Structure 1
Amino acid sequence: MNLLVFGYGYTSRAFVRAERARFADVTATVRSAEKAAQIAADGVRGLEFFHEHVDPALPDAIAQADALLVSVPPDSEGDPVLRVFADAIAAAPRLRWIGYLSTIGVYGDRGGGWVDETDPPNPVSERAARRVQAEEQWLELGRRAGKLVHIFRLSGIYGPGQNALVNLREGVARRLVKPGQVFNRIHVDDIAGVLAASLDRPAGGVYNVTDDEPAPPQDVVAYAAKVLGVEPPPEQDFETAELSPMARSFYGENKRVANTRVREELGYRLKYPTYREALQALAGAGDGR
């Protein structure tokens, strides 16, 4: 099986590293020749794809791909991968699995209520609306071309080098308190596990890739401090805290997201069902020390 990845970032790299042995060939797009050379260490052939620059080898990579993972966000003009390669992807003779990495942000604000894959999107930000449009475009391509498209709606991603333990060590962790506010999270290793499970049981459709316990963000920081044996930062009132418009906008959406299809249809069991198991493991591996 050959894998083609559009956008070789934190999440897609974790998947490739975990599952490299199942693929005969892995090709991934990057933004520069320097990055293409760097990812060779992962056993990955790097091809440039950024704005108007397209590596001439990409059309052949699409034609040879059995699986396609898309980790490139939409821009103001839509999905950049579909804008350039929609026809080539639809015509790819070997392609049997397409995975598109999206976000639970497409559900918008639900006042702290639960949502699952049966709930329709209700985006409240422009970036989430772009995601909804991109999801629809990918699903439409699948219907038109007769290919299985899987939409993976990811919650807040964390993992090695990118977590509350590291934030505490670097002095940037904050305990913002907004009564009733919760967020879902997902460890990058569990994203990789869900993608692998989908490859084993391709069915198409939407999957929420998220943990089992939506939790107040200040509780996660406090637990990370406990794991490290340090004092947590003081609590701050969200209403009076100095935040960027982007950071404040995240707190405008409050929901609890269920991972029903991942559990029931893929049969996947999370390695890290809550932030507690994950932070303990990450600290054991040296994060935050």
Structure 2
Amino acid sequence: MKVFVAGATGAIGRQLVPRLVEAGHEVHGMTRSASKEQLLRDLGAVPVVADALDADQVAEAVGRVQPDVIVHQLTSIGPMDLRHFDRAFAMTNRLRTEGTDHLLSAGQAVGVKRFVAQSFFAAYERTGGPVKTEEDPFGPHPAKEMRETVAAIRHVEDAVLAATWTEGIVLRYGGFYGPHTSLGPDGDQTKAVRRRQFPVVGKGGGVWSFIHIGDAAEATVAAVDRGRRGVYNIVDDEPARVAEWLPTLARTLGAKEPMHVPRFVGRLLTGEVGAVMMTELRGASNAKAKRELGWSPAHPSWRQGFQGLTETDPDDARPDAAAAKGRR
């Protein structure tokens, strides 16, 4: 099939494009910057230069390619500041609202058969059991500093699932880790843990679901090939409380044990968003994705996956090598 990937040079795009090529698809990768055309060629894609926030440019690009499938992986995350979460996600929120609408409009005009879009697990209701399925609702009252971000995630999901003219698929990814992510060998979150700047807040009862960026890409290929209309949680097999995974991560990195601070101190340091994520977050189940997509993560637990954060894989460090690896 001919697959149009919007956000093809991002963390997941760099993993996804060569895997789609290896699976036999003709891949066209969209980027806003002409300077990234060679990167896309190295990954195995035909470069497409267009601004996702310009409806005419998106329509022209999609119209020229005439894809069978559109994969929406558009993000642009600024420096992370949990106290001003929506500020850091301001551009990504535009890409999830305006960008989604532009891609859907262009896709409808050419009759794409399948539309796959990125979402996130962390918006689930923060009451009830510790692990949520796709049938569970999003929480009605997100933390104040991330209301705009959750609204943008809702927009992506509602718009894609309402598109009756195509097979609309939403992938609720877990927290990414691995190459080119903030929890990569040189990522901001990894550095914060090493510097002992990532504390356990309260009892650390928030439940997180993780996914290695390579496993997320593999699941996305499966969704392109055989996904059905609806939502899939793309997470590993082991949701875990902060009080468990954060100290384990610190030990894996050879860092000191993370500090423990009361919730009110954590709220002063990280705002309401940080306090909520550390104490109230709910994890997600991957049972549906494993059952319907025929997919299982190569890193079934963050326990094994975090081991890779202590070293840099040369195949991941060089885009041309990564592409070659993907085509083998």
TM > 0.5 = yes
Distance 1:83 1:115 in 2: 28
Distance 1:123 1:270 in 2: 30
**1:176 to partner: Cα distance:** 1.8
Distance 1:5 1:98 in 2: 10
Specify the alignment match of 2:83 in structure 1. Answer: none
Which amino acid is 2:202 matched to? Answer: K
The question of 1:84 aligning with 2:102 is answered yes
The question of 1:153 aligning with 2:172 is answered yes
Taking structure 1 as reference, are residues 217 and 77 closer, same or farther at Cα in structure 2, changes over 3 Å only? closer
**1:273 to partner: Cα distance:** 1.6
Specify the alignment match of 2:150 in structure 1. Answer: 128
Q: How many residues align?
A: 282
Distance 1:37 1:184 in 2: 34
The structure with the greater share of residues assigned to helix is 2
The question of 1:119 aligning with 2:146 is answered no
1:137-286 map, 5 Å: 137-141=159-163, 143=164, 145=165, 147-162=166-181, 163=183, 166=186, 167-168=190-191, 171=195, 174-179=198-203, 180-241=205-266, 242-244=269-271, 246-248=273-275, 250-251=277-278, 253-283=280-310, 285=312
Specify the alignment match of 1:17 in structure 2. Answer: 18
Gaps of 5+ in 1: none
1:145-189 CA-partner distances (Å, limit 9, x unpaired): 1x2111101121111254276425863652323322221111111
What TM-score, normalized to structure 1? Answer: 0.83
Which amino acid is 1:5 matched to? Answer: V
Give the fraction of aligned pairs with identical amino acids, expressed as a percent: 23
Would the aligned equivalents of 2:209 and 2:239 in 1 still touch at CA under 8 Å?
A: yes
Would the aligned equivalents of 1:35 and 1:46 in 2 still touch at CA under 8 Å?
A: no
Distance 1:86 1:56 in 2: 10
Taking structure 1 as reference, are residues 134 and 48 closer, same or farther at Cα in structure 2, changes over 3 Å only? same
1:36-75 map, 5 Å: 36-44=37-45, 45-52=47-54, 54=57, 57-62=60-65, 64-72=66-74, 75=93
